[in-house]
Structure 1
Amino acid sequence: MVGPPDAHETVRFIRHMDKFFDCLNVRNFDEHMRKRKPNLKPYSDPDDARFEWLQRDFLGYFRDWEQSLMDREGHFTKTERNAMCISKQTIEGLKMTVNSFVEVSRYLLQQGVNFVLSEKFCQDPLEEHFSKHRQRGGANNDPTIQAFGYQENVIRLQKSHHLRCITGNTRRQAQDTPEVIEDTPLPKRR
């Protein structure tokens, strides 16, 4: 055991989260050997033990945590009990992440995909797209189908005319021909 006895649950939480992040950050074929972390190994079997661990043990840890708070003796308000655990939104997010990752990965492996690199599952582009909708919508948190369609067309049109980003945390695609920006004046119209 690491640390004082009253840190036991903190150590347990950190170990669960470390294994969870390893399971969902598989980047390549050899990182698990270099770092000596078996949970970084690519998924190649629909019956991989890590799938079972994620759904049964990892999510079970949070179910048990919530249940222990409900069973805890003493007079605690709902706010005090909620403060003793991570937020319900975080727990729901973990459930959605784990269950959808496991189901998609198993499906892909059963359909003949040779391996799955979990790091490739990323919702950042989706979040970025919907943040553009929120920016365009202003104070309207509940757009109609027509308003959403209009915003989608505007975003699509803007995206087709913008220059590629040179910096940032994304990779640039290789270009066959370099982009040339001219400053030649256009012919005047009558």
Structure 2
Amino acid sequence: MRLFWDRGYDGTSFDDLIATMGISASSFYNAFGSKEALYHEAIDTYMSVAGAWLFAILNEDADTRTVFQDLTTAAASEFTRDDLPAGCMISVAATQCSPAQTRLRDLLASHRTRSEDAMADRLRKGVEAGDLPAGTDIGALAAFYGSLLRGMAVQARDGASRERLLEIARIGMQAWPAGQARSV
């Protein structure tokens, strides 16, 4: 997972994989079948381990603005951890790939869509709870915060510090619909 996260699918060679895992080519094929099959496993692992923070925060028992503030500030920390590659594997991987890899591009796009859909679901709960106006454009607001998080992931990948990402998160929260409850 870390190798794919750090180098992307196309940037990770078969030789890199077997050297990192310390196994032979035949063992690799017996265990995983193909590089693409292993990549799918790596994405699933990422989503259940490294990406779980996003869904956990969206399920917090707090007002919606606080949840999204927590989401953006947590992203700043998660994307700049010392023990993992910078950014988000799903955000920075396979936005551009060879025509032969469109399945992988589509897979990662579906994961990005799933995250944005989860944000939209949380925003709908905010409308139902009354901490967002009934006329809130849920789709646009979810797309905005999804784009903000993906942009922060790219910034981290490019070397932005945690402090810089926290400032981006703070500015991003200024887009929150006016007149709603603000956390202290």
Quick one: higher RCO (CA 8 Å, sep 6+), 1 or 2? 2
TM over 0.5, shorter chain: no
Q: Normalising to structure 2: TM-score of the pair? A: 0.29
User: Is the radius of gyration larger for structure 1 or structure 2?
Assistant: 1
